[in-house]
């Protein structure tokens, strides 16, 4: 593996039900709680929410990188992300992801192709490829 470009560090205690997490630089500090849908009080965040924000932010960066390579102007990109937790076989858990990408300056097939290309280079997409279902749309069109 090549030399790391960047490494994020975090420390978590207490887990997802009644935990606390903090990054080593102090820029992110969160209370972790079960959502109400899972019987918790919902007065904190959870790994799925953090993953949804992280994936969307990373994907937007990948879109920007691909657009610069292709000399395209994407405008103010917006990404609505959903990360769902599912029961899996043999008492396991599985995630699924939906990314709804809005590219106001890119139309039709060009938007679909740009999202498809970003999915090839996004680190989150590469980490999850073949492991979970990821559904993508570009300006409302399936990718």
Q: Are residues 69 and 28 in the same domain?
A: no
Residues 14 and 60 in one domain: no
Residues 52 and 122 in one domain: yes
> Strand, helix or coil at 79?
strand
For 24-68, how does the pLDDT look when each residue is reduced to its tens digit (9 = 90+)? 999 999 999 999 999 999 999 999 999 999 999 999 999 999 999
29 in Cβ contact with 21 (< 8 Å) = yes
CATH number of the domain to which 16 belongs? 2.20.25.10
Phi, psi values for residue 106, rounded to 5°: -125, 130
Q: Which two tokens stand for residue 101?
A: 């990408």
Q: What is the pLDDT of residue 92?
A: 96
Q: Is there a single domain that holds both residue 36 and residue 94?
A: no
Q: To the nearest whole percent, how much of the chain has pLDDT over 70?
A: 100
Both 122 and 99 in one domain: the answer is: yes
Q: Please name every residue paired with 22 in a beta bridge, in sequence order, or none if there are none.
A: 11, 29
> What is d(CA 64, CA 71) in angstroms, rounded to the nearest whole number?
10
- Mean pLDDT over the full length of the chain: 97
Domain that holds residue 51: 47-142
Per-residue pLDDT reduced to its tens digit, 92-115: 999 999 999 999 999 999 999 999
What CATH number is given to the structural domain containing 59?
3.30.300.20
CA distance 95 to 49: 12
Q: Are residues 117 and 54 in the same domain?
A: yes
Regarding whether 116 and 104 lie in a shared domain, the answer is yes
Query: How high is the pLDDT of residue 90?
Result: 96
Q: Please give the average per-residue pLDDT across 65-80, as a whole number.
A: 95
Write down the pTM of the prediction: 0.95
Count of structural domains within the chain: 2
Residues 69 and 125 in one domain: yes
CB–CB of 33/21 below 8 Å? no
Q: Looking at residue 142, what is its pLDDT?
A: 98
Q: What is the mean pLDDT of residues 77-104?
A: 97
């Amino acid at each position: 593996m090549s030399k790391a470009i960047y490494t994020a560090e975090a420390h978590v205690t207490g887990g997802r039900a009644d935990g606390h997490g903090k990054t080593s630089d102090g820029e992110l500090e969160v209370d972790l709680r079960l959502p109400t849908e899972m019987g918790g009080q919902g007065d904190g965040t959870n790994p799925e929410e953090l993953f949804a924000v992280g994936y969307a932010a990373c994907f937007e960066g990948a879109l920007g990188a691909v657009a610069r390579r292709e000399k395209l102007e994407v405008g103010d990109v917006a990404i609505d992300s959903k990360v769902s937790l599912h029961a899996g076989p043999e008492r396991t858990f599985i995630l699924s992801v939906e990314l709804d990408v809005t590219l106001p300056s890119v139309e039709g097939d060009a938007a679909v192709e740009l999202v498809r290309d970003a999915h090839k280079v996004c680190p989150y997409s590469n980490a999850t490829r073949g492991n979970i279902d990821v559904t993508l749309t570009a300006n409302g069109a399936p990718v």
